[in-house]
Amino acid sequence: MKISRSFLLLPVLALAASGLSQAAGKINVVTATQDLAALAAEVGGDHISVEAIAKGYQDPHFVEPKPSFLLKLQRADLLAVVGLQLEIGWLPPLVTQSGNSKIQVGAGGYLDISQFCQILEIPTGQVTRAMGDVHPLGNPHYWLDPENGRRIAKAFQNKFSEMRPSDAAYFAQRYADFDQRLAAAEKRWEAAMAPYRGRKVVTYHRSLPNFCERFGLVVVDYIEPRPGIPPTPAHTLEVINTMKRDNIKLILVEPYFDLRTPNSIAQATGGTVAVMLPSVGGVKEVTNYFELFDYDINLLTSAFAKVK
């Protein structure tokens, strides 16, 4: 009789244990980019597991929607996307094919981070493809302003707390700690960039408007004649003339673009090219959001010091 009761109890205990372990398990987060993954990790700590699809050193507009990503998405509790059509060329079929109801567009596990951030370069008036590969909803490279980084972290805190109310205090404490460290880092970054406020630069693509606005750099021209359109000889000549006229000495290039055109422009103008990281993971040693800004600001201050 005792044995039979034990047998009856065992499955119940097993079920309860599995339920408890599930409840206490980590939130499985997949993000479109490594920047979002880094910020999710800041807030989620060891209560989440997080993986990014696009690497920090690849062009986030052109990611191959590989089936191996589908396995990650199939297991995800939360999918965080940059939005503003940055991932339009690769993410939608992955989401549909994942077979995961939690992360479909509109479901509770689909989080478009752009809705929480300050977005720049929202086109006004008519938008056509004659303007290049323009983003009609605004520039999606918004995470390069620490204030938006703070907003993103807050969005993750709220989302994680909604998904796991029992851990809300933990996420709140992690966010408060991140906020404090970010505030301290911002003072350091602002101080380092203060001597260069108002300096004019040329960038390859429109990846840096939030960064430049925040730290007071003025982007005068782009190596691309239009967003997504490769450099043409005529436009390259225009950039050279602009740089000479305005005495611009610094060209900022993302790590996934070819350096031949920027280098030839720099040679013609006596300027220099700096490969600036738009994302966490752009180089091996940049593994979190703070290191991204440390790297870029060190790079810029060294470059400005070099070109005077």
Partner 1 sequence: MLKGIRIPVFALVLATFGSLAAAAQSSAELLARFKAMEDRIKALEAEVQELKGQQAATTAALTAAAPATPTPAPAVALAETATSQTPQALGGAGPAAAKVLNPDIAVIGDFLGAAGNGTSRPTPALEMHESEVAFQAILDPYARADFFLTFGEHGVDLEEGFLTFPALPGHLELRVGKMRAAFGKVNTLHNHVLPWADRPLMTQNLVGGEDGIDDAGLALSRIFAGPKDTFFEGTAQLFHGEVENLFHAYRRSDVSTVDHLRAYRDITESTNLDLGVSYSRGHSVWSPAVIDQLYGVDATVRWKPLRRSIYHSFVGRSEFTWSRLDFPGRTFTPFGYYVSGDYQFARRWFLGGRFDRSERLGNWFTVDGDIFGTPDLSDLSLHQDTGGSLVLTYWPSEFSQIRGQLRRTLYGGSQTANELLFQFQFSIGAHGAHPF
- Residues near partner 1 (CB under 8 A) are 55, 57-59, 62, 64-68, 70-71, 74, 88-93, 95-101, 104-107, 129, 132-133, 228-230, 255-258
Please identify, using beta-carbon distances, which residue of 31 and 100 lies nearer to partner 1.
100
For 298, the token pair is: 């060190």
Q: Tell the smallest beta-carbon distance from residue 169 to partner 1 (Å).
A: 22
Strands (E), 32-90: 48-52, 78-81
Q: Tell the smallest beta-carbon distance from residue 203 to partner 1 (Å).
A: 17
Q: Across the chain, which distance is largest between two alpha carbons, in Å?
A: 96
Closest CA to 41 of 127, 153, 158: 153
- β partners of residue 274: 252
Q: Tell the smallest beta-carbon distance from residue 265 to partner 1 (Å).
A: 17
Compute the Cα dihedral for 155, 159, 162, 164 and give only its sign: negative
Closest CA to 149 of 110, 111, 178, 184: 178
Amino acid at 176: A
Please identify, using beta-carbon distances, which residue of 88 and 194 lies nearer to partner 1.
88
Q: Tell the smallest beta-carbon distance from residue 260 to partner 1 (Å).
A: 10
Q: Tell the smallest beta-carbon distance from residue 118 to partner 1 (Å).
A: 16
* Distance in Å from the first CA to the final CA of the chain: 89
Q: What is the rounded CA–CA span in Å between residue 257 and residue 246?
A: 24
Q: What is the rounded CA–CA span in Å between residue 33 and residue 300?
A: 23
Q: Tell the smallest beta-carbon distance from residue 261 to partner 1 (Å).
A: 11
Q: Tell the smallest beta-carbon distance from residue 284 to partner 1 (Å).
A: 12
Please identify, using beta-carbon distances, which residue of 245 and 285 lies nearer to partner 1.
285
Please identify, using beta-carbon distances, which residue of 45 and 65 lies nearer to partner 1.
65
Please identify, using beta-carbon distances, which residue of 73 and 152 lies nearer to partner 1.
73
Q: Are 30 and 53 in contact (CB under 8 A)?
A: yes
Q: Are 286 and 55 in contact (CB under 8 A)?
A: no
Please identify, using beta-carbon distances, which residue of 62 and 195 lies nearer to partner 1.
62
Please identify, using beta-carbon distances, which residue of 22 and 68 lies nearer to partner 1.
68
Q: Tell the smallest beta-carbon distance from residue 4 to partner 1 (Å).
A: 34
The angle subtended at Cα 158 by Cα 177 and Cα 146, nearest 5°, is 50
Q: What is the rounded CA–CA span in Å between residue 6 and residue 246?
A: 84
Residues 6 or more apart in contact with residue 178 via CB below 8 angstroms: 42, 43, 150, 153
Please identify, using beta-carbon distances, which residue of 135 and 249 lies nearer to partner 1.
135
